């Protein structure tokens, strides 16, 4: 697309437009010069509203969102920087070369000086634009920036050959760092998938070896029923309705011969906690558990042992937690009772989380789970000693995985810090690319008039 021709500057204009010495944030090589951003790039806004986007459009449409969408036409083309003008992404800078459209609160920057590489400007803004605007935004409900944010932004301008060398070195270094970062990010992103894979092996009997000398799941199940009958008689749990027999076509996967499929309601009993609204919490050090985990703190407890809690209501209903010894559980969560002498708590907690109890919610406006929805679920029951070995192996593997993820996160942080350091050195002339014998940027600007 055509651009309006910019009026030629005189030598006097160039000398007058230099950034005053007192505004120089740091020293730069002698053959560099501080210049106003808008002396070297044009700054305009797009003209389209957010509804201009098209799902199957062939052109890129930049809004103030973190990622562009598509549209059917374009108003801009060529090398450009795209800068969100309002919202959470103020401070972000994107480089694009091609045909595109822009939202009315999105700024488009294009080079207007032959002595300026737009990629050089891009990397400078990538390094400093966000921090520069941190205290220069307007608005209350929605933050935004103005054209003055651009006219007040200064850049250190080296000779154009040096700009090219800086860009080339930055991209070479960043490419290698991005490869390392991608590998570290794979470790981080794969954590939940790895956990799921380990749990699947655990609950299909493939995580630890079975031992023929151990008692069977069938024998353990009979003990569980006797223990539950005892707890019912003592009034510690209430008697539940009998659950239907398990049919062959219900079984989701094979389990070892010594295990037994049972229904969750054969193993656990659930009961609601005691109501406690946030306005009545006294702000002590006793955690209060609701449907979404800890919701606040109180000055007294009614639970006096570590307890398995299942979220009953809310977005995270079906989530599973283990409380501290002293805790309060509201009526938005279930207290889970089970025969502790027959079931390893860690095994129960891991499998309840793996079962994703929230998927059984009744899909009303307010998500909720109940005994009616979770009691019929199938539960693979191994011998007690095997449950303990499974838990030990799960926690060992999870610990090693968490250590690997922590290391990967450290690598990502280090890479981000290295990138920041590279950019800071690049714009101080400290990357070893500057040739002091080259004609200064100011002389080049003068010659371009």
Token pair of 213, please?
């000398």
pLDDT at 11 (0 to 100): 28
pLDDT at residue 361 tops 50: yes
CA–CA distance from 401 to each of 122, 240, 391, 417 (Å)?
38, 40, 15, 24
Return the sign of the alpha-carbon dihedral for residues 334, 339, 341, 346.
negative
pLDDT at residue 381 tops 70: yes
| Residue matched to tokens 């730069």 | 28
Angle formed by the axes of helices 384-426 and 191-203, to 10°?
170
pLDDT at 362 (0 to 100): 59
Task: Count Cβ atoms below 10 Å from residue 327 Cβ, excluding itself.
Answer: 23
pLDDT at residue 14 tops 70: no
> pLDDT tier at 365 (50, 70, 90 boundaries)?
low
> pLDDT tier at 360 (50, 70, 90 boundaries)?
low
Torsional class of 432: left (φ above 0), alpha (ψ -120 to 50), beta (otherwise): left
| Residues 353-372, mean pLDDT to the nearest whole number | 78
The better pLDDT of the pair 334, 434 is held by 334
pLDDT at 15 (0 to 100): 41
Token pair of 149, please?
């944010």
CA-CA distance, 29 to 14, in Å (whole number)?
A: 19
pLDDT at 322 (0 to 100): 96
pLDDT at 439 (0 to 100): 63
> pLDDT tier at 313 (50, 70, 90 boundaries)?
confident
**Average pLDDT, whole number, for the chain?**
89
pLDDT at 359 (0 to 100): 78
Residue 285 CB contacts under 8 Å (≥ 6 apart), including other chains: 297, 299
pLDDT at 240 (0 to 100): 78
The Cβ-side half-sphere exposure at 406, using a 13 Å CA radius, reads 6
pLDDT at residue 224 tops 60: yes
Exposure letters 90-125 (e unless 16+ CB within 10 A, then b):
bbbbbbbeeebbbbebbbbbbbbbebbbbbbbbbbb
| Residues 6-30, mean pLDDT to the nearest whole number | 62
pLDDT at 1 (0 to 100): 41
Torsional class of 411: left (φ above 0), alpha (ψ -120 to 50), beta (otherwise): alpha
Q: Which of 23-27, 96-100, 129-133, 346-350 has the lowest mean pLDDT?
A: 23-27
pTM to 2 decimals? Answer: 0.75
The better pLDDT of the pair 62, 442 is held by 62
Secondary structure, 3-state, the chain: CCCCCCCCCCHHHHHHHCCCHHHCCCCCCCCCEEEEHHHCEEEEECCECHHHCCCCCCEEEECCCCCCEEECCCCECCEEEEEECECCCCCCCEEEECCEEEECCEEEEEECCCCCCHHHHHHHHHHHHHHHHCCCCECCCCCECCHHHHHCCEEEECCHHHHHHHHHHHHHHHHHHHHHHHHHHHHHHCHHHHHHHHHHHHHCCCCCCCCCCCCCHHHHHHHHHHHHHHHHHCCCCCCCCCCCCCCHHHCCCCCCCCCEEEEHHHHCEEEECCCCCHHHCCCCCEEEEECCEEEEEECCCCECCCCEEEECECCCCCCEEECCCCEEECCCEEEEECCCCCCCHHHHHHHHHHHCHHHHCCCCCCCECCHHHHCCCEEEECCHHHHHHHHHHHHHHHHHHHHHHHHHHHHHHHHHHHHHHHHHHHCCCCCCCCCCCCCCHHHHHHHCC
| Residues 332-338, mean pLDDT to the nearest whole number | 93
- Smallest Cα–Cα separation from 291: which of 199, 372, 373, 361? 361
pLDDT at residue 263 tops 60: yes
The Cβ-side half-sphere exposure at 321, using a 13 Å CA radius, reads 25
pLDDT at 447 (0 to 100): 54
Token pair of 34, please?
């501080």
pLDDT at residue 445 tops 80: no
- Smallest Cα–Cα separation from 98: which of 70, 138, 120? 70
pLDDT at residue 61 tops 50: yes
pLDDT at residue 9 tops 70: no
pLDDT at 275 (0 to 100): 87
pLDDT at 282 (0 to 100): 84
- Smallest Cα–Cα separation from 120: which of 90, 79, 148, 84? 79
pLDDT at 67 (0 to 100): 95
CA-CA distance, 61 to 100, in Å (whole number)?
A: 6
Token pair of 53, please?
């986007």
Exposure letters 222-252 (e unless 16+ CB within 10 A, then b):
eebeebbeebeeeeebeeeeeeeeeeeeeee
pLDDT at 440 (0 to 100): 62
> pLDDT tier at 192 (50, 70, 90 boundaries)?
very high
CA-CA distance, 445 to 448, in Å (whole number)?
A: 5
| Residues 234-248, mean pLDDT to the nearest whole number | 86
pLDDT at residue 149 tops 80: yes
Query: What torsion do the CA atoms of 134, 135, 141, 145 make, to the nearest 10 degrees?
Result: -80
Phi and psi of 335, rounded to 5°? -85, 125
> pLDDT tier at 62 (50, 70, 90 boundaries)?
very high
| Residues 218-233, mean pLDDT to the nearest whole number | 90
């Amino acid at each position: 697309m055509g651009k309006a021709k910019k009026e030629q500057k005189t030598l006097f204009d160039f000398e007058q437009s230099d950034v005053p010495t007192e505004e120089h944030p740091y020293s730069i090589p002698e053959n560099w010069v501080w210049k106003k951003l808008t002396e070297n790039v044009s700054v305009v806004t797009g003209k389209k509203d957010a509804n201009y986007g098209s799902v199957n459009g062939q052109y890129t449409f930049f809004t103030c969102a973190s990622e562009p969408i598509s549209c059917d036409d374009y108003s801009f083309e060529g090398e450009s920087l795209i800068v969100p003008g309002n919202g959470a992404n103020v401070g972000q800078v994107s480089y694009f070369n091609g045909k595109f459209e822009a939202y009315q609160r999105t700024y488009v920057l294009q080079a207007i000086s032959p002595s300026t590489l737009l990629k050089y400007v891009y990397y400078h803004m990538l390094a400093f634009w966000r921090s520069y605007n941190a205290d220069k935004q307007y608005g209350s409900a929605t933050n935004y920036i103005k054209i003055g944010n651009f006219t007040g932004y200064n850049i250190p301008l080296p000779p154009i050959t040096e700009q090219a060398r800086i860009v080339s070195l930055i991209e070479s270094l960043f490419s290698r760092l991005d490869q390392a970062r991608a590998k570290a990010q794979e470790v981080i992103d794969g954590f939940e998938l790895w956990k799921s894979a380990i749990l699947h092996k655990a609950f299909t009997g493939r995580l630890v070896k079975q031992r023929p000398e151990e008692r069977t799941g069938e024998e353990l199940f009979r003990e569980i029923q006797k223990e539950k009958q005892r707890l019912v008689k003592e009034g510690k749990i209430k008697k539940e309705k009998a659950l239907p027999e398990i049919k062959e076509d219900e079984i989701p996967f094979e389990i070892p011969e010594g295990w037994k499929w049972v229904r969750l309601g054969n193993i656990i009993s659930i009961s609601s906690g005691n109501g406690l609204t946030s306005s009545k919490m006294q702000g002590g050090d006793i955690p209060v558990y609701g449907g979404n985990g800890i919701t606040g703190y109180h000055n007294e407890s009614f639970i006096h042992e570590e307890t398995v809690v299942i979220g009953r209501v809310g977005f995270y209903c079906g989530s599973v937690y283990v409380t501290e010894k002293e805790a309060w559980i509201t009526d938005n969560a279930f207290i889970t009772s089970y025969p502790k002498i027959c079931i390893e708590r860690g095994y129960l907690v891991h499998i309840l989380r793996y079962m994703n109890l929230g998927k059984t919610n009744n899909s009303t406006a307010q998500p909720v789970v109940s005994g009616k929805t979770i009691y019929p679920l199938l539960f693979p029951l191994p011998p007690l000693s095997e449950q303990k070995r499974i838990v030990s192996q799960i926690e060992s593997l999870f610990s090693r995985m968490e250590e690997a993820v922590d290391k990967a996160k450290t690598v990502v942080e280090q890479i981000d810090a290295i990138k920041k350091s590279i950019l800071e050195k690049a714009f101080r002339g400290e990357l070893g690319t500057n040739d002091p014998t080259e004609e200064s940027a100011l002389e080049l600007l003068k010659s371009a008039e």
